[in-house]
Amino acid sequence: MAASVPNGKAELAFTYTRESFVEAARALARARYGRLGSIIQSFLPLAVFGPCLILFIVLSVEPVIFLYIAGHPMRAPWYVMVGFYLLLMWWGLKPLVATMRLRLKRRIKGFDDDERWLGSQSWAVSDEGVEIKGADHRTLLHWNYFSAVIDAPTSYLLPVRGAKNQWHYVPKYAFASGDDEDRFRTIVKRNAELVGAA
């Protein structure tokens, strides 16, 4: 993995990993949904467990109206209430966990099924655009092809303009040093909108 800037180009050679792909996909989702998505994601556990906890407290203090013996309400033992609370949590958490697993499987499947993520990558980044070289192909993507360049924690994301499910990314481990990354950022700032960390 190396980066250099001969003749105003930042040349990168690297290999994608599943881990970097999943992290980049998650970062792209966060960038697309913005602050609202972060708020929803942060409060989602509270939305699931909050009502369960409130119901648990209410049923622990008040008689359980649906339990009767000889026509009189009976207060449930503590272990029944704890079991009921755990059942509510499982009921609320199960679809959430299933959804997260399905999304992760789809991301990994997308990585395994798409040839552009496999094998060694060779990028030449210049004012003209991003040139991606493979064993049997060479593609030049001009800067207006991308909607922006997003500075994520572990990568630089390049979503395709007008195409929600098409994007490219450069993992930050592709840069041999901080100077190489700075040169890459300089080229990007001259030609595209760099969004994210300063």
Computed over every residue of the chain, the mean pLDDT equals 75
Between the ranges 84-88, 115-119, 144-148, 165-169, where is the mean pLDDT highest? Answer: 144-148
What is the distance between the alpha carbons of residues 67 and 58, in angstroms, rounded to a whole number? 15
H-helix or E-strand spanning residue 40 = helix 18-61
Q: Which DSSP state fits 165?
A: T
What is the distance between the alpha carbons of residues 45 and 26, in angstroms, rounded to a whole number? 18
What is the distance between the alpha carbons of residues 77 and 18, in angstroms, rounded to a whole number? 49
Question: pTM, whole model, 2 decimals?
Answer: 0.62
The string of DSSP letters for 24-37 reads HHHHHHHHHHHHHH
Phi and psi angles of residue 2, each rounded to the nearest 5 degrees, phi first: -150, 160
| Residue with more model confidence, 76 or 22 | 22
> How big is the chain by its Cα radius of gyration, in Å?
25
Report the side by side order of strands in the sheet with 138-142: 2-4, 10-15, 120-126, 129-133, 138-142
pLDDT of the residue at 185 = 94
pLDDT digits (tens, 9 = 90+) for 25-72: 888 877 776 655 555 555 555 565 666 666 666 655 555 545 544 555
| Residue with more model confidence, 127 or 134 | 127
pLDDT of the residue at 92 = 59
pLDDT of the residue at 192 = 92
Report the side by side order of strands in the sheet with 167-171: 167-171, 155-159, 149-151, 194-196
H-helix or E-strand spanning residue 67 = strand 64-69
User: Helix, strand, coil proportions of the chain in percent (round to 5)?
Assistant: 55, 25, 20
Segments making up each domain of the chain, as ranges: 2-16+119-196, 29-113
Kindly tell me if the per-residue pLDDT of 188 is higher than 70: yes
Kindly tell me if the per-residue pLDDT of 131 is higher than 80: yes
8 A C-beta contact, residue 152 and residue 171: no
**In the CATH hierarchy, which top-level class contains the domain 2-16+119-196?**
mainly beta
